[in-house]
């Protein structure tokens, strides 16, 4: 959500930003926001004038009533002023209702207007215009055939999709044995990796109230992603970033404690509506998964520096597991409405002979902070909105696809990266299961 002062002082900037995001259907929102803001301020000013006049007239009534004993005409004058005070009171009540109405309507409109994107964001209508920035590691294609990821997991007796469909439907899975253990090893390693970077490890609530959901994401994303608990004001989280940022609602943070650098574990639940191609089946696009996230709450002037650090942590982590990756800059049309700037870290798939997304790093500026009223207080007493950022550390089982494919050997075994072996009891390889 942008600052209303942009609507008042620089509406052309707001309109141009909407155009850059290829959301021309939202252009009328800028004018509607300006209209509601003007009407609201007029109601506030009139109400303020009425309150001031009421105080002044109340003093006159008291004075006139004191004089009425000697001069009966004063009593009549006092009654006339009382009638005026009553009329003003009725009008004031109307204005206060109007203020609440305009405020609610203005907020609803403002929450649909996209955040002002950073000037460095490439302009384009959708993800086809995203820009590759740089690569890390050599993407290799082995001479032998790389099986589809679920076949690869099945070769280790590591997955059961059929039973999961019976129990919960499509989009769910059972991980078994060494594959399940590798899944947990990746999460444990990712946790320790981020702790080593100075981040505080946390486990947040896995559900949150609607007010928090509204504060951390757009209505469009909310409808597409979130599962709501029937009959309760509770939603299952789609990512721990949401409940982690929600922790700061209505908080004033002492500036000297910033930045807050946090890494959180959670299961994640997503609708993932729509049909998907072959490469997005299996455990690539699913309704339930686990994830390690990194979150930063900082001063505005620090947020771009943190953005650079966060995506580079992802590169370092994946390269430590012998997985080639690239940084892909998200274009304007591919940015969610609350984001100022975003990039994906994509891992190399030897089977597909292309990269696919494993991490998403975002600077949300003051968008979430404005919605949730997250502020910090400097030593001089000045209070300002904080900036928030987030990035995926790892999100297995999807990232297991990259790990298994890039470490697959010609005999069907998979070399376990050295950094994961302590979490696998020293095991160095996954060996194909013997036929039964």
Q: Would you tell me how many other CB atoms lie within 10 Å of the CB of residue 228?
A: 14
β-strands 131-136, 325-329: how paired?
antiparallel
Among the options 191, 360, 370, 371, which is catalytic? 360
Residue 114 · residue 19 · CB < 8 Å:
no
243 is catalytic: no
Among the options 79, 357, 384, 413, which is catalytic? 357
Distance, in Å, from the CA atom of 436 to the CA atom of 430, rounded to the nearest integer, reads 18
Could you tell me the sign of the dihedral formed by the alpha carbons of 372, 195, 392, 400, in that order?
Answer: negative
Among the options 270, 326, 351, 375, which is catalytic? 270
Among the options 191, 247, 351, 398, which is catalytic? 398
Tokens of 102: 């305009």
Among the options 281, 285, 299, 421, which is catalytic? 285
135 is catalytic: no
285 is catalytic: yes
357 is catalytic: yes
> Which active-site residues does the annotation give?
270, 285, 357, 360, 398
């Amino acid at each position: 959500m942008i600052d209303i002062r942009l609507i008042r002082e620089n509406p052309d900037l707001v309109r141009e930003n909407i155009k850059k995001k290829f959301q021309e259907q939202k252009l009328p929102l800028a004018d509607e926001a300006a209209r509601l803001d003007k009407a609201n301020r007029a109601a506030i000013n009139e109400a303020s004038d009425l309150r001031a006049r009421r105080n002044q007239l109340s003093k006159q009534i008291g004075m006139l009533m004191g004089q009425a004993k000697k001069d009966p005409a004063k009593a009549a004058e006092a009654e006339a002023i009382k009638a005026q005070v009553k009329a003003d009171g009725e009008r004031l009540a109307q204005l206060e209702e109007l203020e609440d109405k305009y405020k609610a309507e203005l907020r609803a409109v403002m929450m649909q207007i996209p955040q002002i994107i950073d000037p460095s964001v490439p302009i384009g209508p959708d993800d086809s215009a995203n820009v590759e920035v740089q690569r890390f590691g050599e993407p290799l294609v082995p001479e032998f055939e790389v099986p589809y990821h679920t076949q690869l997991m099945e070769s280790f007796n590591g997955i059961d999709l059929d039973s999961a469909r019976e129990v919960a439907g499509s989009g769910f899975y059972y991980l078994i044995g060494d594959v399940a253990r590798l899944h947990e090893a990746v999460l444990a390693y990712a946790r320790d990796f981020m702790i080593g970077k100075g981040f505080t490890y946390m486990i947040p609530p896995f559900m949150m109230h609607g007010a928090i959901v509204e504060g951390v994401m757009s209505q469009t994303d909310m409808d597409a992603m979130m599962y709501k608990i029937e009959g309760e004001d509770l939603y299952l989280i789609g990512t721990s970033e949401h409940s982690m940022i929600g922790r700061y609602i209505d908080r004033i943070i002492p500036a000297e404690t910033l930045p807050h650098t946090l890494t959180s574990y959670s299961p994640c639940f997503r609708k993932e509506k729509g049909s998907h191609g072959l490469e997005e089946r299996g455990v690539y696009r699913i309704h339930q998964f686990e994830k390690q996230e990194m979150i930063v709450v900082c001063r505005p002037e620090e947020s771009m520096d943190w953005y650079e650090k966060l995506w580079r942590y992802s590169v370092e982590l994946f390269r430590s597991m012998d997985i080639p990756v690239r940084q892909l800059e998200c274009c304007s049309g591919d940015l969610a409405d609350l984001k100022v700037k975003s990039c994906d870290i994509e891992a190399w798939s030897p089977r597909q002979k292309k990269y696919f997304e494993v991490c998403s790093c975002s600077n949300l500026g003051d968008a979430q902070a404005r919605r949730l009223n997250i502020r910090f207080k400097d030593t001089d007493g000045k209070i300002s909105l904080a900036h928030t950022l987030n990035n995926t550390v790892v999100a297995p089982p999807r990232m297991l696809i990259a790990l298994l494919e890039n470490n697959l050997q010609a005999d069907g075994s998979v070399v376990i990266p050295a950094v994961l072996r302590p979490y696998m009891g020293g095991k160095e390889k996954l060996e194909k299961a013997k036929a039964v």
